[in-house]
Amino acid sequence: MEGGFLGMAAFGFWMFIAAVSVGGIWDGIRKREAEHETLRRIIESGKQPDQQLMDKLLGYNKAPERDLKVGGLITMSVAPGLVVLGWLVGEDALMPLFGVAGLVAFIAAGLLVAANFMKKSRESDTSGQNQVIR
């Protein structure tokens, strides 16, 4: 009976992850549709939208380096927490959680390096338009 309960709990967890993922994708699609609908209505009313409004609605003024930096700082603050957790749980968990904390710290450092790379790439763009790095 216990194995069935654990299986249902695992299934529930993964269904929650799937629902959150699908919800996030759906939310992004709906926001994009609303932006395009706004632009369509402006054009249909006979008005000419200015460039600043176009850039805002089409997403050209986004700053991904800011999001990467925030993610890196949040992730960096998790690493010491994992070490403290290992210390509180006991001697057996300390070394494995040191390793996990190191992995999390490297991920955070990668996010911060990516943020700096994106910032320098955006600053070196001489055409005046933001380029998408693929």
Give per-residue pLDDT as tens, 9-55. 889 999 999 999 999 999 989 988 888 888 888 888 888 877 777 77
pTM of the model: 0.57
63-80: b (≥16 Cβ within 10 Å) or e: eebeebbebbeebbeebe
Opening angle at CA 27, ends 21 and 28, nearest 5: 95
CA atoms within 13 A on the CB side of 76: 12
What's the total number of domains in the chain? 2
Q: What is the pLDDT of residue 2?
A: 65
Q: Which of 46, 61, 76 is the last residue of a domain?
A: 61
Opening angle at CA 81, ends 105 and 75, nearest 5: 40
Q: Which of 32, 61, 90 is the last residue of a domain?
A: 61
Rounded to the nearest integer, the mean pLDDT of the chain is 85
Structural domain that includes position 130: 62-134
